[in-house]
Amino acid sequence: QVQLAESGGGSVQTGGSLRLSCAASGHTFRNYAVGWFRQVPGKEREFVAAISWSGGITYYADSVRGRFTISRDNAKNTVSLLMNMLKPEDTAVYYCAATITTIPRAARQYDYWGQGTQVTVSS
């Protein structure tokens, strides 16, 4: 069992930066791939980025590649998402999720989810 908790959301202006953190409980967290997703009202949850259990493999959505960076510290049971050059279209609730399988990009393939943190980017 893995429990996840996101933090670091907030309100910024276009071009600003935020760092989201996903803190996990459970000593086996290092065995899990972790993904970040985002969701706006009325739309499906959208893949943002994912990282392998070792941190050696990362994937990004085209819309964030080059602006966002996902990383993890297994010693601290945390995964971070550094978001630079934020745009109004990045406004959403951001969720982290974990799965024991390989690094999926589909939300349905993740087993554990946090409660989400709101990110608002104003123009």
Q: What is the DSSP string of 30-76?
A: GG-EEEEEEE-TTS--EEEEEE-TTS--EEE-TTTBTTEEEEEETTT
Q: Using a pLDDT cut of 90, give the percent of the chain over it.
A: 90
The token pair that represents 5 in the structure block: 């908790």
Cβ neighbours, 10 Å, residue 108: 6
What are 31-90's pLDDT values in tens digits?
Answer: 999 999 999 999 999 999 999 999 999 999 999 999 999 999 999 999 999 999 999 999
As a 3-state breakdown, the chain gives helix, strand, coil percent values, each rounded to 5, of 5, 50, 40
Q: Which two tokens stand for residue 122?
A: 């104003």
Across all residues in the chain, what is the average pLDDT?
A: 95
